[in-house]
Amino acid sequence: MPRVGLFIPCYIDQMYPDVGFATVEVLERLGITVEFPEAQTCCGQPMANTGCTEAAAPLARRFVEIFEPYDAVVCPSGSCVAMVRAHYHEYFHHDLRYDALRPKVFELCEYLVDVLKVDKLPVRFPHKVGLHQSCHGLRELRLGSSSETIVAPFNKAKQLLELIDGLELVEPARPDECCGFGGTFAVSEEAVSCLMGHDRIADHLQAGAEVMTATDMSCLMHLDGLIRRDKRPLRCMHIAELLAGRPV
């Protein structure tokens, strides 16, 4: 049985712990023994995105030290996984430890589809669901085909959602548009960020979504704030919660 390390992003740990528990529930239901190394810290993405790359360096080195012993590392966040797989190179310069760990770090849906080959899920979720495709997962991890690429359509998150009994996927008009969060972008460009978020929400509501889901709780955190302030009839839930069969 593979030894799987669970990497939980800072904002999930602090504000959305149920997403972490749902991730564990999904993996354990599939027979995976999950370990949570308590020494883990932030992946360094907030600092790197703001241009403080040197401040992220010790966090990158710490990540490799902590997760190096595992056969696989699974994380319910495309953006954090993208940070590790696509942006850690400058901190290691062909370090063999990082080179060995890098291909073993997976976003949750990616691990379920590509490694475990999941083709059935014993859960029910009788609601209309709109899938928000987070930018990092879509364009850096290639969790799905994006509109600017000429490839056969595919989508790993959608593939899993289609296995859930009673769930009806609805398609927004612009299925791979950014929500406007972008980490510190939402602080430095607040007005633009909010306008982009409102556009995403309106698109999903027009499609008939009752629940909006995504592979990144950071995107959903941004959208949920706008939804709550405007009192819109839409609920945000991380895809791990749907895969675990959590109620709305």
Dump pLDDT digits (tens) for 117-174: 999 999 999 999 999 999 999 999 999 998 888 889 999 999 999 999 999 999 999 9
Helix (H) or strand (E) holding 70: none
Instruction: Name which CATH class applies to 4-115.
Output: alpha beta
Compute the CA torsion angle 5, 9, 12, 14 (nearest 10 deg).
110
Report pTM: 0.94
Whole-number Cα distances in Å, 162 to 91, 129, 156: 39, 10, 10
Nearest 5 degrees, angle CA 230-CA 236-CA 238? 155
Percent of the chain with pLDDT over 90: 87
Q: Examine the pLDDT at 1 and tell me if it is beyond 80.
A: no
Dihedral sign computed on CA atoms, order 7, 11, 13, 16: negative
Nearest of 100, 154, 132, 99 to residue 227 by alpha carbon: 132
Residue span(s) of the chain under CATH 3.40.50 come to 4-115, 128-243
Asked whether the predicted pLDDT for residue 214 surpasses 80, the reply is yes
Please give the average per-residue pLDDT across 24-42, as a whole number: 96
Q: CB neighbours of 148 closer than 8 A, spacing ≥ 6?
A: none
Mean pLDDT, rounded, for 175-195: 88
Q: Hey, which bits of 193-248 come out as E strands?
A: 211-214, 235-238
Give the mean model confidence (pLDDT) for residues 182-187.
Answer: 80
- Three-class SS of residue 75? strand
So what's the pLDDT on residue 186?
77
Average pLDDT in the chain: 95
Q: Which two tokens stand for residue 150?
A: 């000429």
What does the chain come to in residues?
248
How is 148-162 classified by DSSP, letter by letter? TS-S---BHHHHHHT
**β strands within 85-216, DSSP E:** 105-107, 128-131, 168-170, 211-214
Q: Picking from 26-30, 45-49, 161-165, 173-177, which range would have the lowest pLDDT averaged per residue?
A: 45-49
Tell me the CATH class for 128-243: alpha beta
13, 25 Cβ separation under 8 angstroms = no
- For residue 145, the model assigns a pLDDT of 92
pLDDT at 113: 98
What are the two backbone dihedrals, phi and then psi, of residue 223, each rounded to the nearest 5 degrees?
-65, -40
CA–CA separation, 70 vs 135, rounded Å? Answer: 27
